[in-house]
Amino acid sequence: MSRKTKNFFELALIYIVVAIAFVIIFYPLLWALGVSLNPGRGLYGASMIPENWSLDHYRWLFTDPRSNYLLWYRNTLAVSASVAFFGTLITALTAYAFSRYRFKGRKNGLYAFLLVQMFPVLMAMVALYILLNTIGLLDSLFGLAIIYVGGSIPMNAFLVKGYFDTLPRELDESAKIDGAGHFRIFFQILLPLAKPILAVVALFNFMSPLMDFILPRIVIRSPEKYTLALGLYNFVNDQFSNNFTRFAAGAMLVAIPVAILYLFLQKYLITGLSSGATKG
């Protein structure tokens, strides 16, 4: 086989793999969009490209008095924004301590972070329920946010620590000579340099409450405190409300805040994803 023929087959294989990945990713999204534009409520007779498409389902979500969609959206954004900010800040502080200081139990602490990630989250659900009930934060968005923040720390701290390890320690030493303290070094020197990996952590933290259903299902009881995942679930689960078209419309709108945040952070994401894997 000639070199030219070999290159042709390699290029064809690459295009085939990309095409398969494209279909796997976008086919469900196109179906969800198509279903959301179909009239009616059920999946029977719905098509990916509806002939008589309509925005009635989107209009209902925002204008109908019986719809709590905007309330669920507000609850979810409040939790996501809190987790993105506080989770990223606490993760950065934890990673800074493990990267720049030597203390007893440091290595065991890092191993513990990795060990925690090996167990499924479902194993901790009963303990989390009892904990929130004990401290009076069950059925609370604040309690839900605390669980998300705590759960985001171990793996993300390990990633951010790897990024901090790549930053030269001479920066810290120079700042100390100039009289800078630990917090000033962290906030004014290292934190700006760590924007790429922190952008990745913030995006992942923001997405977790948007995508998660199991934890809110266990923690939240009051309908006015539902997140989007819980609220949309009722569209297809209630005995008298099997409304798949409205469910699809509401699910499509979940992607808007993630897309906006991604566009805002995109210049940092590629660098952060590649650099965060550096072993510390």
Whether the predicted pLDDT of 273 surpasses 70: no
| Euclidean distance between CA atoms 121 and 125, whole angstroms | 7
pTM (predicted TM-score): 0.84
pLDDT of the residue at 28: 85
pLDDT of the residue at 279: 41
Whether the predicted pLDDT of 56 surpasses 60: yes
pLDDT of the residue at 64: 85
255-264 mean pLDDT: 87
Decide if 71 contacts 225 (C-beta within 8 A): no
Sign of the CA dihedral with 275 first, then 276, 277, and 280 last? positive
Question: Any idea which residue has 């534009």 for tokens?
Answer: 37
Structure token digits, residue 31 = 């179906």
| Euclidean distance between CA atoms 223 and 166, whole angstroms | 47
Other CB atoms closer than 10 Å to residue 154's CB: what's the count? 18
Cα three-residue angle 123-215-122, rounded to 5 degrees: 15
pLDDT one-digit tens code per residue, 91-143: 999 999 998 888 888 888 888 877 877 777 778 888 889 999 999 999 999 99
| Euclidean distance between CA atoms 199 and 268, whole angstroms | 6
Fold designation for 68-275: MetI-like fold (1.10.3720)
pLDDT one-digit tens code per residue, 58-92: 998 998 888 889 999 999 999 999 999 999 999 99
pLDDT one-digit tens code per residue, 37-54: 888 776 666 677 777 888
Amino acid identity at 171: L
pLDDT of the residue at 246: 85
pLDDT of the residue at 274: 54
pLDDT one-digit tens code per residue, 182-234: 888 888 888 888 888 899 899 999 998 988 998 999 999 998 999 999 988 88
Nearest CA to 246 out of 6, 19, 66 is that of 66
Other CB atoms closer than 10 Å to residue 96's CB: what's the count? 22
Segments of the chain assigned to CATH 1.10.3720.10: 68-275
pLDDT one-digit tens code per residue, 3-12: 778 787 888 9
